[in-house]
Structure 1
Amino acid sequence: MNKLQAMEVFVQVVDAGSFTRAAETLQLPKATVSTLIQSLESALSAKLLHRTTRQVTVTTDGAAYYERCLRILSDVRDAEESLSRTRLSPSGRLRVDVPTGLATEVLVPALPAFFERYPDIMLELGSGDRPVDLVEEGVDCAVRGGELFDTSLIARRVGVINFVTAASPGYLARHGVPHHPRDLERHRCVNYFSAKSGRTLDWDFVRGDDKITVPLHGVIALNDSVAYVQAGVAGLGVVQMTDYLMMEHVRAGRMVQVLPDWTSEPLPVHVVYPQNRHLSAKVRVFVEWVSDLFAAHPYMQIGALPRLAAMTATPGEASREAAAAVTI
């Protein structure tokens, strides 16, 4: 019995939950898959799988052995790839999922440099604010903002997201400039609701030791970050969004930052991938590239927000600019 092949077959059977599907994925006869599992159980003197006519489930011993197999197989592949990476350029299809704003404003503009370095990778880039199921949808890795609660994923922190509160000059001309987060309760605000849970997200503000969470009522709520920013530009209300999406509009005068003394807690950004998949060369180089990209980006690190605040109008300037704006 080839022990490494038997381990790979065992892992695939557990992942697929079926001898038939595992055999199809591995392109092996079903009888070969069954024989290898039986030989493995005999060699270990342990029952690894419960078999019924409808499904295959892992035993307690099998679950423990499965985790060990994942680590062993990953180490073997890492050793093989570490030797081949010096001779071969990473290649093949790489499927990645990224939030819309990060894709349009940060990642896509930098991709020419990525393909210049790795011309043999064929990238499939999905973008949206709905978190995808990486295993179910066959995604190799994803960039995610916020705290992570899915323990089935391996995560590498690559940066942070900072937020800015702003409104259009026309809106401020009609409704005035808020000077404290509580003032927003008297304003129209554009809300953002989670594409996953449907819950409208509260706004949080920090100034020194003061922390305030403000639940707001608005006439519109969106679940796409790019559309959300455009709602603010259109004058539908005050918005709170990532600074890398707001920067262009602030510099162009389409938006004015408000409450510059109040910030929101930065959100961490991670690259995540399933722990039951080895880190292939193409995934590894993409993770490293994203990490370097975010490390050099002026708005992906803690402390980036004050640079944006320094370029925005003071409340007095905002009022004068807003008064001269064409109202919607």
Structure 2
Amino acid sequence: MDLHELRIFSRVAALASFTQAAQQLGLTKSRVSSAVQRLEVQLGTRLLQRTTRQVRLTSDGVQFLARCEELLADAEQLQGMFQPAASGLRGRLRIDLPNVFARDVIIPRLPAFLAAHPLLEVGISTSDHRVDPVLEGFDCVLRVGPLGATELVARPLGRLQMCNLASPAYLAAHGTPHSLQDLAHHRLVHFAGKLSLRGAGWEYEEGGKTQLHPMPSALIVNGTDAYQAACLAGLGLIQAPRRGAQHLLDQGRLVEVLPAFTPAPMAVSLLYPHRRQLPARVAACLDWLAGVVTPHLAAR
């Protein structure tokens, strides 16, 4: 049984799409479809139900996928079993990172990691929206904030301390708030992935619980760079991780306000799809990312 065809089937099953699998694998859709068809002929059963709207696993396909993923993991371990340690890791890694962490923390340390493993090919996504590691084919993601319900494996790393920020120009024009009641005379820049006002307001922690104080929003953004830029431009108050703003505080370009009413620290976690045996390159990447990121976080 062809391992390449097993990988193709695994990706089609994960994405529930021949088209998306072909795009991720760099193959034509016909090549992907033919590979799955050959597997079905060899096995004597249908693995996928195809309609014009969806692709889904059959009951036989569900059983085969579980064994397929185990075989692919075993094959990768066998392939590297007798390779000299000096050759390092090999293969592709796809990682999704928050923009600020990628720019300020991880990419500056990446040259040493790649020098130690020159046969690795690393793809890094730096989006501010929450990707689906399984559907979008990521080996691991670094996530900031609550995880919610997930079937992914989560590796907690620590927490990001939060702070409330304003520009000197904004404070000169609107005054400095000293209480929650003062916020009625101020404007908030709201961060929302879908540019929605849902959940807008001033967050703060009280008695171990998150409270939300309503206040008007001047602007809604869905990216961390735009969020910080809006504050620097004097468009309103923001609530952001101190880690990404400390240099601006040190330079006097931003000012901290209402330190007694800050949001709860944000959890930082590494997420990856559950597998019986992680490929060596993914396990090594997870350990490396944890080692690079954890020193920048507060204890869990």
What range describes the TM-score normalised by the shorter chain of this pair? 0.7 to 0.9
| Equivalent-residue separation in structure 1 for 2:140 and 2:34 (angstroms) | 25
Say if 2:251 is the partner of 1:252: yes
| Equivalent-residue separation in structure 2 for 1:10 and 1:29 (angstroms) | 6
Residue 298 of structure 2 aligns with an amino acid whose one-letter code is Q
* Alignment deviations for residues 237-288 of structure 1 (CA, whole Å, 9 cap, x no partner): 2111111111011001111111222332122222223347963333222211
| Equivalent-residue separation in structure 1 for 2:257 and 2:42 (angstroms) | 66
- Classify 1:178/1:96 alpha carbon distance in 2 versus 1 (closer, same or farther; 3 Å): same
User: Between the two proteins, what is the percent identity of the paired residues?
Assistant: 31
Q: Could you tell me which residue of structure 2 aligns to residue 267 of structure 1?
A: 266
Residue 234 of structure 1 aligns with an amino acid whose one-letter code is A
Q: Could you tell me which residue of structure 2 aligns to residue 223 of structure 1?
A: 222
* Alignment deviations for residues 32-74 of structure 1 (CA, whole Å, 9 cap, x no partner): 4234322xx7xxxxxx747678787444465356445535653
Whether the aligned pair in 2 keeps the contact of 1:205 and 1:265 (CA below 8 Å) is yes
Q: Could you tell me which residue of structure 1 aligns to residue 145 of structure 2?
A: 146
Residue 34 of structure 1 aligns with an amino acid whose one-letter code is E
Q: Could you tell me which residue of structure 2 aligns to residue 301 of structure 1?
A: 298
Mark the structure with the bigger radius of gyration. Answer: 1
CA drift at 1:103: 1.8
| Equivalent-residue separation in structure 2 for 1:139 and 1:85 (angstroms) | 27
| Equivalent-residue separation in structure 2 for 1:216 and 1:53 (angstroms) | 49
Residues 2-21 of structure 1: pairs in structure 2 closer than 5 A: 11=10, 14-15=13-14
- Classify 1:282/1:213 alpha carbon distance in 2 versus 1 (closer, same or farther; 3 Å): same
Whether the aligned pair in 2 keeps the contact of 1:9 and 1:33 (CA below 8 Å) is no
Unaligned stretches of 5+ in structure 2? 23-28
- Counterpart of 2:43 (choices 33, 37, 44) is 37
CA drift at 1:129: 0.8
- Classify 1:91/1:196 alpha carbon distance in 2 versus 1 (closer, same or farther; 3 Å): farther
- Classify 1:12/1:238 alpha carbon distance in 2 versus 1 (closer, same or farther; 3 Å): closer
Unaligned stretches of 5+ in structure 1? 42-47, 304-328
Whether the aligned pair in 2 keeps the contact of 1:158 and 1:290 (CA below 8 Å) is no
| Equivalent-residue separation in structure 1 for 2:125 and 2:13 (angstroms) | 28
Whether the aligned pair in 2 keeps the contact of 1:23 and 1:29 (CA below 8 Å) is no
Query: Per the alignment, in what secondary structure is the counterpart of residue 221 of structure 1?
Result: strand
CA drift at 1:226: 1.3
Whether the aligned pair in 2 keeps the contact of 1:188 and 1:219 (CA below 8 Å) is yes
Query: Per the alignment, in what secondary structure is the counterpart of residue 219 of structure 1?
Result: strand
Normalization by structure 2: what TM-score? 0.77
| Equivalent-residue separation in structure 1 for 2:293 and 2:217 (angstroms) | 33
Query: Per the alignment, in what secondary structure is the counterpart of residue 216 of structure 2?
Result: coil
CA drift at 1:166: 1.3
Which aligned runs of 4 or more in structure 1 are off by greater than 6 angstroms?
A: 2-10, 52-56
Whether the aligned pair in 1 keeps the contact of 2:195 and 2:221 (CA below 8 Å) is no
| Equivalent-residue separation in structure 2 for 1:238 and 1:14 (angstroms) | 45
- Classify 1:26/1:242 alpha carbon distance in 2 versus 1 (closer, same or farther; 3 Å): same
Query: Per the alignment, in what secondary structure is the counterpart of residue 263 of structure 1?
Result: coil
| Equivalent-residue separation in structure 2 for 1:56 and 1:226 (angstroms) | 38
Residue 122 of structure 1 aligns with an amino acid whose one-letter code is E
Residue 143 of structure 1 aligns with an amino acid whose one-letter code is L
In the alignment of these two chains, the number of paired residues is 290
| Equivalent-residue separation in structure 2 for 1:193 and 1:63 (angstroms) | 37
Query: Per the alignment, in what secondary structure is the counterpart of residue 248 of structure 1?
Result: helix
- Classify 1:161/1:178 alpha carbon distance in 2 versus 1 (closer, same or farther; 3 Å): same
Please provide the CA RMSD for this pair: 3.8
Query: Per the alignment, in what secondary structure is the counterpart of residue 74 of structure 1?
Result: helix
CA drift at 1:90: 1.4
| Equivalent-residue separation in structure 1 for 2:177 and 2:149 (angstroms) | 38
Q: Could you tell me which residue of structure 1 aligns to residue 25 of structure 2?
A: none
Q: Could you tell me which residue of structure 2 aligns to residue 279 of structure 1?
A: 278
- Classify 1:92/1:258 alpha carbon distance in 2 versus 1 (closer, same or farther; 3 Å): same
Residue 37 of structure 1 aligns with an amino acid whose one-letter code is L
Residues 35-74 of structure 1: pairs in structure 2 closer than 5 A: 35-38=41-44, 49=47, 57-60=56-59, 63=62, 66-67=65-66, 69-71=68-70, 73-74=72-73
- Classify 1:57/1:195 alpha carbon distance in 2 versus 1 (closer, same or farther; 3 Å): closer
| Equivalent-residue separation in structure 1 for 2:17 and 2:169 (angstroms) | 58
